Structure 1
Amino acid sequence: MTAAVLAAAPPRPAHRDPRVLRWLGAYTASTVGDGVYHLALSWTAVSSGSPAQAGLVMAISAVPRALLMLGGGVVADRFGPRRVVIVSDAVRCLVVLALAALVLATTPALWTLAAVALVFGVLDALFLPAVGSLPPRMAPRDQLARVQGMRGLGQRAGAVLGAPLGGLAVALGGPGAAFAAAGLLFALSLPLLLGLRLDPLPTDAGARGRKNTALGDLADGLRYLRGHRVLGPLVIVIALSDLGFVGPLNVGLALLSDQRGWGASGIGWVLAGFGTGAAASSLLLGVKGRVPRAGAVLGGTMVLGAVSVAALAHTPLLPVAVFLALSVGLLAGLSGALAGALLQTECDPAYLGRVSAVASLCSLGLAPLSFPATGAAIGLWGPGPVFVASAAVCALAGVHGLLVPALRRAELPK
């Protein structure tokens, strides 16, 4: 085959690209390991202290994650996301294996568990912006939507497999065995990441204008984001949608299921419906690879998903709730994947770590702060008004995206 024929050959689709599959395997192993670790940590904390103390241990990682996330974006842009992801997973592996050995030898004090949770929060602040910066360095721009769909499948795998595997490990060998399993999963990601070769970044204005100090880099990235016609409004859409969505999903469903008399199995069915819908949307995007008029579809699916969120609190029938949860998962999964793909295709690669850090801060740092307010509001007014209010915030996100011309007209590369 001649060089001219090779040059004219179409690029390999992401789901057949060995680099993307290597990255997906590492990401999925790390995500499942996270699920196993959190199950083991919560079980050990409950066994070692009061419920309130266990809740404090589980919540403590959110503090460094929120405070240091923007700094993690600067680190990813300065040192390269591959290096940051490898170091983060290596440290997580060593820490959790050391904790496994400690748990097998003795009963750890609560302060030890809190210290581990604190370390994981710091590592999350580094890992999340870096992992969001990897896809544009290993896949062409026209494949990034497909990569986001594949990433969504990895996230679903972590959500579906992590906790059951952790529970099985606890049942068979106790918390120490579960921590060891999590450490092995983190270790599994390392050879895959070490063998991953990334494309170099092009020389661009962001790289040429980068300041020498980390604080200067951060301010430069925030100015870039604020001035971008698509990315600035897109981050607002992401922040609003997560603020309205995560409270009902993580707190409201449990209270709703208890009020309706569905029990633990009922909430399991509702969550299974959501997970199935989210996985289906990720699979659709992973196979299809591109959605025309991505910006308009992003806003429209958020508005439609908000309708399903509001309706979820007003049905007394479990099968209808499961169907509504499936539609929420389908629409929210599609809008989330499109938001990630647009963020990566619109962003100058030199700023991608910092922009990913801002988006991750909104989703994983600030939105969970709504959990206590959601629980308290449902206790005062019941799930119906709270779900409707949360749905209104989700709808506001979609409407905002539709009203901003640059975002509404945004397209994924062909």
Structure 2
Amino acid sequence: MKPPALHKNRAFLLVWISGLTIMLGFSMFFLSISWFIVDELQDPAVLGIVMMSVSIPRVIMMIYGGILADKIRKSNIMFVTNFLQVCVMAAMIVLYMNDWLTVTALVVIALVFGFLDAFFFPAVSSMIPIIVRDEELQRANSLFQGSTEMMFIIGPIIAGLLLTVGDFTLTFSGAAILIAISTILVFPPFIGDPHPEKRTDGQTALSDLVEGLRYVKGSELHRTGTLTIVVLNLFMIGPIIISFPIIVSALGGTPFELSLLEGGLAAGTFTASVVLVIWNLKRKRGRLVFLSLALTFLLFLLFSRSEAMPMLVGLTAAAGFAAMFVYLPVVTMVQEQTEKAKLGRVMSIITLAASGFEPIAFGLITMLVAAELPITTVLTAAASAGFILSLMLIWLSPGFRQRD
């Protein structure tokens, strides 16, 4: 049966609102953790370790998360992972209130969060093409991604204000409550998403993984789209995220100024998503992706050479805007051209490309800063490398350039 229109689609609306609440909670949580490390522990190198601890288990388990999403009801995966994250948040609040929130505890918490993310995001990204109409897929992706990015504007601002007037208990507790609300919204009977068809081929997880990788490798669209997202995240998204607290600390800033930088990035991505909701792009998407990729790195290069906070916030927003014109069209093009039975595995590979390479960026940036290289020099090198790789992708992928 054909799904109802987007504004009447109960399953999509619940998943969407769940995404809003959990991203709001995550954004408050991550800003609080970043500032706790930089301001209270006063050790920026620990920030890179914690960020890597989030990302490494995500990298290791992401593909298996996609395999699981092709075998198990997706709302079940989302509900269980959200519930476990609430438990982790509650434990962290207890640790903080008793002065037990050490670097070791933060690393363990980060590892658990990364592990759970590896199952949650392939499930939600492969669910959307199943519960919405094909002709509304671009709008559904843009609406979901854009509005959840909006939470990364609101969340850091709320967290920054709460940290200005109170302590970390306020932000940690608020984040836990929001994740709990998200858990309730994706309760499987509320969503009513279909159970995957039972498979009788007897394939193991490893053979499923090999099949998914071959599927991506065998398609120029899937292969080039994945490489494009890897370059974007490895050389721009990862470095810019890890640089925010380091830059603010070096400039003698406050948690509120950190929230402005993070909010600027989210504002840019949100605005781009709104544009893509209104402009249901269907033609010359490959060319647009490549042009946006090159523009993103040029804006990031300007960011790396700036020191004034208003200029940094503006360039962050502009780079985030351009980056979404890379990410969202690629995701939609891949979803449109992927067999439904393989969506979980393919979207886990795309999600891995979008976030799994961040620990490499986090680790490299942290090590270079610890070696007393100026953060501006490090970011300039990342932006330059990303721009050169973008030009190489454009040159080597003529078929993708012509894609609608």
TM bin, normalised by shorter chain, reads 0.7 to 0.9
**Aligned 8 A contact 1:32 1:158 in 2:** yes
Percentage of identical aligned residues: 23
**Residue 178 of structure 1 aligns with which residue?**
171
**C-alpha deviations, 1:194-231, integer Å up to 9, x for none?**
21123566x7xxx8685431112111111111112311
| 1:397 counterpart = 2:376 | no
Q: What corresponds to 1:26 in structure 2?
A: 18
Cα gap change, 1:177/1:270 in structure 2, threshold over 3 Å: closer, same or farther? closer
Please tell me whether Structure 1 or Structure 2 has the larger radius of gyration of its CA atoms. 1
Pairing of 1:304-323 with structure 2 (within 5 A): 304-314=295-305, 321-323=312-314
Q: Give the equivalent residue in structure 2 for 1:4.
A: none
| Structure 2 gap segments, 5+ residues each | none
Q: TM-score when scaled to structure 2?
A: 0.83
The total of aligned residue pairs comes to 397
Q: 1:135 to 1:170 in 2, by over 3 A?
A: same
Query: Which one of the candidate residues 201, 213, 220 is aligned to 1:229?
Result: 220
The one of 286, 293, 300 equivalent to 2:291 is 300
Q: In structure 1, what is the Cα distance between the partners aligned to 2:221 and 2:191? A: 30
- 2:318 matched residue in structure 1: 327
Contact 1:40/1:175, CA 8 A, preserved across alignment: yes
Taking a change above 3 Å as real, the CA distance of residues 376 and 25 of structure 1, as seen in their structure-2 partners, is same
1:133 matched residue in structure 2: 126
CA distance in 2, matches of 1:146, 1:209: 35
CA deviations on 1:237-277 (whole Å, 9 max, x unpaired) are 11112112124412456666788x69568776555543332
- 1:150, 1:247 → 2: CA distance? 23
In structure 2, the partner of 1:151 is: 144
Q: 1-side partners of 2:362 and 2:72: how far apart?
A: 34
**Superposition deviation, residue 298 in structure 1:** 0.9
In structure 2, relative to structure 1, the CA distance for the partners of 1:169 and 1:101 (3 Å cut) is farther
1:296 and 1:402 in contact (8 A); partners too = no
Q: Distance in 2 between matches of 1:390 and 1:337?
A: 21
Q: What is the identity, as a one-letter code, of the residue corresponding to 2:203?
A: N
Q: How far apart, CA to CA, are the structure 2 residues paired with 1:392 and 1:154?
A: 31
**1:362 pairs with one of 353, 356, 369:** 353
CA spacing shift, 1:405–1:17, aligned 2, 3 Å: farther
1:96 to 86, 89, 106: 89
Q: Give the direction of change, closer, same or farther, for the CA distance of 1:398–1:335 in structure 2 (3 Å limit).
A: farther
Q: Quote the Cα distance in structure 2 between the aligned partners of 1:200 and 1:94.
A: 27
With over 3 angstroms needed to count, the CA separation of the structure-2 counterparts of 1:64 and 1:271, relative to structure 1, is closer
Distance 1:296 1:402, change over 3 A: farther
2: distance between equivalents of 1:96 and 1:388? 37
Q: Deviations over 1:350-383 (max 9, x none)?
A: 2222222222223322233123433555754773
- Whether 1:196 aligns to 2:191 is yes
Give the C-alpha shift of residue 123 in structure 1.
0.6
Q: After TM superposition, give the deviation of residue 323 of structure 1 in Å.
A: 4.3
CA apart distance, 1:31: 1.1
Q: Which is worse superposed, 383-392 or 218-227?
A: 383-392
SS in 1 for 2:70: helix
Are residues 329 and 214 of structure 1, via their aligned partners in 2, closer, same or farther at CA, if it must alter by over 3 Å?
A: same
- What is the CA–CA distance in structure 2 between the aligned matches of 1:341 and 1:33, rounded to whole Å? 26
Q: Distance in 1 between matches of 2:345 and 2:177?
A: 30
**2:56 corresponding residue in structure 1:** 63
SS at 1:212 equivalent = coil
